[in-house]
Amino acid sequence: MFYDVTKPQSLHSLKDYYASIINLSMSKEWPHIPRFIIVANKVDKAPTSWMPEEDAHWIGKNLSPFLAILPVSCKTKEGISMTAQIIVLTSCGLMDTI
């Protein structure tokens, strides 16, 4: 199941954006899953949706050339700092920069 997200205009970098998605997800539905699939837009590589990794195992297995695994520092809803691992899936290959 995919969940749509909207890019916050106040954030200046994709890394901040990814961190905000991780923080949002940890504060709500998935407080203990620190790894997510983010599906990126082909043109500007901005994420359009995301899902917990275990719900998308077949994507990583079958489309591995199109995955980039990126660490993002974040805090859980309890305020505990941790590094979450996000997996960026693009339709045009690995992301250029983060």
- Average of pLDDT values for 38-43? 42
Q: Number of folded domains in the chain?
A: 1
What rounded mean pLDDT belongs to the chain?
Answer: 46
What pLDDT does 9 receive? Answer: 39
Sheet of 47-52, strand order: 3-4, 47-52, 35-40, 81-89, 67-75
46 pLDDT band, cuts 50/70/90, is very low
* Domain-embedded: residue 79: yes
Instruction: Look at residue 10 and tell me if it is in a domain.
Output: yes
Residue scoring higher pLDDT (94 or 40) = 40
Residue 76 located in a structural domain: yes
In a domain, 64, yes or no: yes
Residue 42, domain member (yes or no): yes
Q: What is the DSSP string of 43-86?
A: TT--EEEEEEGGGGHHHHHH-GGGEEEEEEEEE-TT--EEEEEE
Average pLDDT over residues 36-45: 43
| pTM, 2 dp | 0.26
* pLDDT confidence of residue 80: 60
Range of the domain at 21: 3-89
**Position 94 in a domain:** no
Residues whose CB falls within 8 Å of the CB of residue 86, separated by 6 or more in sequence, listed in order: 18, 21, 22, 35, 36, 37, 38, 69, 70, 71, 72
Query: Residue 98 domain-assigned?
Result: no
Report residue 86's pLDDT band, with 50, 70 and 90 as the boundaries.
low
How many alpha carbons fall within 13 Å on the CB side of residue 6? 3
